[in-house]
Chains A and B, each alone.
Chain A
């Protein structure tokens, strides 16, 4: 079975500082990994994905994530946080094949000016 762990419920960071939101996963085969962001009263918006290829994936709004197979991690990063990045972030995984996404519990990011 697939699963995702986001060990931090909340991450606080000062504006301009780098941010990291952690994610580890478990799948039986090769993973497809995704990050989504949710703003208040909105649906989930796709940020980036890893399917295959380069372990460093770049996505929307300056976010990037690094796939680490040995550590089964896919941490989300941004070099310089903005107040507008404050939102709820979800990591998701699925196995190769026609399977739906399994989501983590979400991490609330708060960027303080």
Chain B
């Protein structure tokens, strides 16, 4: 398996624009997580899914953020409109079962100018 695949690797956008980050989890994994990493706040959980169903989105910072998982092999994280304070590295991770470790993608480095 190629692991968790995220795209794009880098995204530079202007404030106010819509940004969509994409994730393909490892095949067969039931759980998918979106994390955000910044110097100030470290790794923060934004939202996670179990069997394509959102379980906990309490970490989503504002209504500008939304995430979907239309099927077991694809998820998106959308920011609309984007703001400079959204600049961070966004990671997607997947996990097979309750007792297994999570595997992380390479991340998307988002810069909002």
Residue ranges of A at the interface with B (Cβ–Cβ < 8 Å): 32, 34, 36, 42-46, 49, 51, 90, 96-98, 100-106
- Contact of B77 with A by CB under 8 A: no
Decide: A34 and B101 in contact? CB cutoff 8 A.
Answer: yes
User: Is A43 within 8 A of B98, CB to CB?
Assistant: no
Known: A36-B104, A49-B101. 6 other contacts (CB 8 A): A43-B105, A46-B102, A97-B98, A100-B31, A100-B102, A101-B102
User: A34-B101, A98-B50 are contacts. A43–B106 as well, Cβ < 8 Å?
Assistant: yes
Knowing A43-B91, A43-B104, A44-B91, the reply to whether A102 touches B45 (Cβ < 8 A) is yes
Query: Can you give 22 contacting A-B residue pairs, CB < 8 Å?
Result: A34-B101, A36-B104, A42-B106, A43-B91, A43-B104, A43-B106, A44-B93, A46-B101, A46-B103, A49-B101, A90-B43, A96-B98, A98-B98, A100-B33, A101-B33, A101-B45, A101-B102, A102-B45, A103-B35, A103-B42, A104-B42, A105-B42
- Chain B's nearest CB lies how many Å from the CB of A35? 10
In the bound complex, residues from chain B placing their C-beta under 8 Å from that of A43 are: 4, 91, 104-107
Chain A residues with Cβ below 8 Å from B101 are 34, 46, 49
B91 contact set on A, CB distance < 8 A:
43-44
Q: Across the interface, do B99 and A32 meet the contact criterion of CB distance under 8 Å? A: yes
Contact B106–A51 (Cβ < 8 Å) = no
| B113 contacts across to A, CB distance below 8 A | none
B71 to chain A, nearest CB (A): 20
* Nearest 6 A/B pairs, CB to CB: A43-B104, A103-B43, A44-B104, A46-B101, A105-B42, A43-B106
Against A, the Cβ 8 Å flags (1 = close, 0 = not) of B13-45 are 000000000000000000101010000001101
Residues on the B chain within 8 Å of A51, using CB: 99
